[in-house]
Amino acid sequence: MTKFGFIDRIAPLLTRLRRGAGASMLALAATVLVLTALPAGNAPANTDPQGSMSIEKKHMFVARLIRNYMERRHYVKMPIDDDLSVRVLNRYVETLDPERMYFLQQDVSKFDEIRYEFDEFIEQSRLEPAFAIFLVYRTRVRNQVDTALTLIDKPFDFTRDEYFDVDREDEPWAKTQDELDELWRKRVKNDLLGLIISGKQEDEARETLKKRYTQMRHRTEQLNANDVFQFYTNAYLLSVEPHTSYLSPRASENFRIRMSLSLEGIGAVLQSENEYTKVTRVVTGGPADMSGELRAGDRIVGVGQGDAGEITDVIGWRLDDVVELIRGPKGSVVQLRVLPEKAVAGGDTHVISIMRDKINLEEQAAKKSLFEFEHAERTYKLGVIDVPTFYADFEGRSHGDPEYRSTTKDVRELINELKNDGIDALIVDLRGNGGGALSEAISLTGLFIESGPIVQVRDTSGRVRVNVDPDPSVSYTGPLAVMVDRNSASASEIFAGAIQDYQRGLVIGEPTFGKGTVQNLVPLGQHSRTDVDLGQLKLTVAQFFRVNGDSTQHRGVVPDILFPIAMDSDQEGERSYDNALPWSRIPAADYEPQYTLGDSALLAELARRFDDRKDESDGLRYLREAEEFTASSQQVEQLSLNLETRKRQLEQRRERSTAIENELRRSRGLPPIEKVSDNDLITESDPTSDGDDGEFPPDVLLEEAGHILADLISLKDHATRLAHTGTDDTVEARN
């Protein structure tokens, strides 16, 4: 490895630090790093950072543990080399400054002098360079927050035509301090403009921003050595594969709470995205789900306590702090100020109130519904079983409790009830089902096939284990469809893939998420002789493969009938993750398709009929336009800083939203509405939302799936008649 002058200059300090010189030497090392990264005469006034932190022995111990686990037990055997070194540095810098609003180009250039050294740092469990880079970041945050606070008190010309870059992730780093300050001038102006448009008076908006930026600095100051260690360690782990990560003791506790549901909240999975807290999933049966007002993709920009408490601006907050604000006692109310997924940054926000509670497990259970519809002059009765997750009461089952709940047990009972209702066909609805118990995906598949392998699992050593359905009994033999979408993942993909491989039923919808790997949670404290909490390692240890040999990883399950709302599926789910494992295949398991649904001519005819119908479907047209509307919001690269221009653009979006909504209402014989806000327009990700008209908007996709199944029944009936009579009435069957 080539040694660079930059690291040589701080190497003696780092060596002394490793020998236990402590926090003061780390601060000095950071000072040298800062001074070498800044131009002469531009060193920050505060180069001896307050709250300097020391690397503890436990951090180096955990670093060694993680390296060993990655080398010996991770599913991907990635060499620790120069290529990985560059990726780790880049990801670490991006983790600290994803929008490139703090570091200067000269900072990054100095960091690049050691870009080929991080493989050695990992091998040797050396953490000092990562900590030193963080202290440069902390100093830059202080400087830019000071700049922002100064700018807030200055007047802004909102009649001037200029623009703010919304997404700077791929923009070049600012070359000079003046250039960086100009970026911040536009940012402050944009933030102020957004608050004014949302209804705040200008003086109130300025005070809100002062609090926001002051909190931003405070939260950065509060980051400790455990936080920095987690940032850096995950930069390494996520450079290998996106589902392996280190959870610090604090993050581990939050993870435990979320998994055990031991503390009341709203029932939503959140993540940080730039400076927003984004809702990635609304948990079925949780308070947010029951309210119907919070949706995946929405961004939480403020949190308040009680029905009338002051709402605290949380833009730029760390995720843990936002979560702590949202959690609270059961029965208490939390207010959320939400920027909808469909709104552009700085667009309309609205406030929703949710009563905190535990997740209602009953609401997570499988449910049935029954609806009748007309198709080709015949009335069909369709049974639908919605499976939000794959669940099982393992403790109740092991204790022999006859009342224990599981997905398979519940669905079997629901099928029997629907058969008694005289259904013509059945849909298993897995839209939004992110997975759950693997054993339940296997046993649920067994309700529809006689027996055989369901999924193959390849472990770190390359050994393949085949999981089979041991029960030859079948609960339902009639026409079957499985509905999936971009959020159907893991166990859902195993079930849908097996149904498709056995040609037992149609898979309808969008390409699924593509989560085809298995993770174990490793408590690292088990390797310590003390009681110190060392956090946990979430480690990828295996990969799922379908019985036909295809992986569900990355590609997911591609439906037999693809709904035309699946726009940009390459940017959804696993396919959107950096360093995601690619699709692959292994030899097929020993299985035989037990049915004839995979007949290419039959599938082609079903697809042809759907194609003929979809262009005339008002519902599908509505969902396509809603998807395009949402995509247009997410693709906005610049925002006008002219007040009147900004207002006009927002009004145009509201008018377009209203037009899309009213187009569907007219097709359903409902009166038009005057205006909708951003959060009133549904999209394909939430097609079942109820409006003011009972069942409006309808579940368009479920309706279309029903028509596809009706076509299947019609074609099967035609084939049966042809086999018995020898008469080809294909033309009649198509009408």
Q: Are 505 and 418 in contact (CB under 8 A)?
A: no
**Quick one: tokens of 116?**
């080929």
Q: Give the span between the Cα atoms of 519 and 103, in whole angstroms.
A: 35
SS3 category, 501: helix
User: What residues have CB less than 8 Å from 363, skipping those under 6 apart?
Assistant: 284, 285, 286, 289, 290, 388
> What 8-state DSSP symbol labels residue 617?
-
3-state helix, strand, coil in the chain (%, to 5): 45, 15, 40
- Can 368 be counted among the known catalytic residues? no
Q: Give the span between the Cα atoms of 473 and 26, in whole angstroms.
A: 67
* 264: Cα within 13 Å, side-chain hemisphere: 14
| Continuous H helices in 177-318 | 177-197, 202-222, 225-238, 249-260, 287-291
Residue of 107, 289, 501, 550 with catalytic role: 501
| Angle (nearest 5°) at CA 668 between 665 and 670 | 55
568-579 core/surface letters (b: 16 or more CB in 10 A; e: else): ebeebbbbeeeb
**Quick one: tokens of 15?**
């060596």
User: What residues have CB less than 8 Å from 192, skipping those under 6 apart?
Assistant: 152, 156, 202, 205, 206, 209
Among the listed residues 465, 639, 428, the one whose alpha carbon sits nearest the alpha carbon of residue 547: 465
Q: Are 140 and 73 in contact (CB under 8 A)?
A: no
User: What residues have CB less than 8 Å from 235, skipping those under 6 apart?
Assistant: 88, 89, 91, 92, 95, 130
DSSP string, 308-367: TPPEEE-TT--HHHHHHHH---TT-EEEEEEE-TTSPTT---EEEEEE-B---HHHHS-E
- Can 675 be counted among the known catalytic residues? no
Burial class (CB in 10 A: 0-12, 13-18, 19+), 688: middle
Pairing of β 425-429 and β 378-386: parallel
Q: Give the span between the Cα atoms of 386 and 460, in whole angstroms.
A: 35
Residue of 515, 550, 678, 714 with catalytic role: 515
Among the listed residues 707, 706, 699, 619, the one whose alpha carbon sits nearest the alpha carbon of residue 664: 619
Radius of gyration of the chain (CA): 28
Residue of 85, 490, 492, 657 with catalytic role: 490
User: What residues have CB less than 8 Å from 653, skipping those under 6 apart?
Assistant: 343, 344, 347, 629, 633, 678
Q: Give the span between the Cα atoms of 608 and 569, in whole angstroms.
A: 22
**Quick one: tokens of 238?**
């996520």
Q: Give the span between the Cα atoms of 61 and 666, in whole angstroms.
A: 66
- Can 611 be counted among the known catalytic residues? no
CA 122 to chain centre: 29
Residue type, 538: K
* 456: Cα within 13 Å, side-chain hemisphere: 22
SS3 category, 304: strand
Q: Give the span between the Cα atoms of 681 and 696, in whole angstroms.
A: 12
SS3 category, 154: coil
Residues catalogued as catalytic: 490, 501, 515
